[in-house]
Structure 1
Amino acid sequence: MATDLAAAAAALLEARRSRQWLAALPEGARPATQEEAVAIQALVAEALGPIGGWKVGAATPEAMPGCAPLNTRDLRFDDTPFSAAAFNITGIEAEIGFRLGADLPPREKPYSREEVMAAVASLHPIIEIVDTRFKALNSTDPLSHVADQINHGALVVGPALESWRHIDPPNEPVRLTFNDKVAVEHVGGNTAGEPIRLLQWLANEGARRLGGLKAGMVVTTGSCTGLLLVPPGTRVRATFRNAGTVETAIV
């Protein structure tokens, strides 16, 4: 029997609306493959409005990447605080992202690394707020969490750095502070390694289902600090030595 992808998407959308968090997706609606999980992602994203970006990452520098579309409504380009009541959980990750200055539409010939780099307009420090529509992180099967936007809540996009090619993300020092107290301070930290291969994969494969990458989209490339949960009343600042600083707060 085929997986009911529409029922899965409907359950995730209803959890967002009602804030009745899921123990699991309905029987018969749980993705059995990565392709089914990605199809559910697409249904949810299309229901939530315009797509303004993507998250992409990988477990190791050699591993197959994974991705999720991000809706414009969940992107923020300033330090306006978030209400904790808008989320189920509030996890924090510091990341490095890129904003595109040119379209990379689906095409038969794969995009080269240089073509992808040429399409990047700017590099940004990023804070991702991690969330889940399930009762907790890792509380159900992994593919269901992939279907749920890979645990995305919101994205805070810091100032643009237009001259960025000198930055080496795997060797970029990062400090993450909560209420001015250092929570993480180290070099690199992203398990995926250097991020351009992730952008290249996203252009050639990951974003094809939803029409490819478009100018203005923001692509964030995975956590440099790991995931840390924070309570309401937390001011968050992520500072990269060369990539800049981004701030937000959970109130």
Structure 2
Amino acid sequence: MTSAPTLPSDLLDTLAQQLLQARKDKQWLTSSTLPGLTEADAYAIQQRVSARLWEQQGQRTGAWKSGTGSIDVTPTVAPIWPARVFPTGATLSMADYQLIGAEAEIAYRLGSDLPLRDSDYSEEELRAAIDAAHVVIETIDSRLQDWQSPAPFWGLADNAVNGAFVIGTEVSDWQALNLPAQAVEVWINDELKISKTGSHALGDPWLLMPWTLNHLIRRQQGLRKGDIITTGSWMGSLQVKAGDSVRVNFPGIGEATMQISA
């Protein structure tokens, strides 16, 4: 369970507003010059950003990103702005972002509601609630000039530097996938840039999901059918620019594509 924030509420409000203003103005913040955060502070800032950026306009968060670098490290989670969730083949405008980094990922989609309850859901219950996996492209964007090595928890506060989310091929028989041995390719402008096998940080991205889903159920007062959670990059982040086309391919599973316009 996430502990309470340590920073006062008015300072958390101010820091969230700085991130929102940096997003609006396409200006950079430097995390090393900002107040230090705990993990709980970062999640509190996330909530304030989402409340002001989309929840006050009646948009409900239905997509999240989760990730960790090791099975021994507690994952982190961040909401994805509903206006930045796209189907495969979408065109993203470079003008809407400060940078765009493309990541190849596998996401899981809920086929039934998971209401809040007193006890955590078991892994078996959570598996039963998932109705599909998807190939996705997560794009990275940041309001932090030092986003590649930010001060502790500032990357998490900045919505884990999420830019957008492009949803590709759906796989209903997802439990039959042998993801620890899965290959992945990333193509930029029809040129193969990355080809790897079994390269997810945890081997099997499902290992993130029991913690992540129970965390989100508590945080969101339950999850709904159709909610989708992506599970971290298989190949790091590949920066792209206006004019580029991107294709992420998981051979034998499917792909997701996007274009970047000026």
Calculate the TM-score normalised by the size of structure 1: 0.93
Q: For the Cα contact (< 8 Å) 1:158–1:247, is it kept in 2?
A: yes
Which residue, 125, 128, 140 being the options, matches 2:138? 128
Structure 1 or 2: more helix by fraction:
2
> Quick check: 236-245 or 208-217, which moved more?
208-217
Q: Is there any run of 5+ residues in structure 1 with no aligned partner, and where?
A: none
Which residue, 197, 209, 222 being the options, matches 1:199? 209
User: 1:37 maps to which residue?
Assistant: 42
Q: How does 1:204-243 map to 2 (within 5 A)?
A: 204-243=214-253
Q: 1: CA distance between counterparts of 2:166 and 2:173?
A: 20
> Quick check: 205-214 or 171-180, which moved more?
205-214
Q: For the Cα contact (< 8 Å) 1:61–1:193, is it kept in 2?
A: no
* Number of matched pairs: 249
User: 1:185 maps to which residue?
Assistant: 195
Q: How does 1:35-184 map to 2 (within 5 A)?
A: 35-49=40-54, 50-138=60-148, 140-184=150-194
Give structure 1 regions of 4+ aligned residues with deviation exceeding 6 angstroms: none
Q: 2: CA distance between counterparts of 1:243 and 1:67?
A: 25
> Quick check: 197-206 or 152-161, which moved more?
197-206
> What is the identity, as a one-letter code, of the residue corresponding to 1:203?
L
Q: For the Cα contact (< 8 Å) 1:91–1:228, is it kept in 2?
A: yes
1:12 equivalent in alignment to 2:19 = yes
Q: 1: CA distance between counterparts of 2:256 and 2:191?
A: 15
Q: 2: CA distance between counterparts of 1:217 and 1:145?
A: 23
Q: Is there any run of 5+ residues in structure 2 with no aligned partner, and where?
A: 1-5, 55-59
Calculate the TM-score normalised by the size of structure 2: 0.89
Task: Report Cα offsets for 1:154-179 as digits up to 9, x if no partner.
Answer: 00000211121111222111111101
Once the two structures are TM-superposed, the CA of residue 26 in structure 1 deviates from its matched residue by 7.4
| Cα root mean square deviation, aligned | 1.8
Q: 1: CA distance between counterparts of 2:61 and 2:74?
A: 23
> What is the identity, as a one-letter code, of the residue corresponding to 1:10?
Q
Task: Report Cα offsets for 1:66-122 as digits up to 9, x if no partner.
Answer: 111112111101312111111111111000011111122332222111111111121
Q: For the Cα contact (< 8 Å) 2:142–2:161, is it kept in 1?
A: yes
> What is the identity, as a one-letter code, of the residue corresponding to 2:28?
W
Once the two structures are TM-superposed, the CA of residue 206 in structure 1 deviates from its matched residue by 4.2
Q: For the Cα contact (< 8 Å) 1:80–1:249, is it kept in 2?
A: yes
> Would the alpha carbon gap of residues 250 and 207 (structure 1) be closer, same or farther in structure 2, given more than 3 Å must change?
farther
- Look up the SS of the partner of 2:224 in the other structure: coil
Q: 2: CA distance between counterparts of 1:16 and 1:235?
A: 24
User: 2:57 maps to which residue?
Assistant: none
Q: 1: CA distance between counterparts of 2:149 and 2:27?
A: 15
Q: 1: CA distance between counterparts of 2:99 and 2:142?
A: 7
Once the two structures are TM-superposed, the CA of residue 57 in structure 1 deviates from its matched residue by 0.9
Once the two structures are TM-superposed, the CA of residue 142 in structure 1 deviates from its matched residue by 3.1
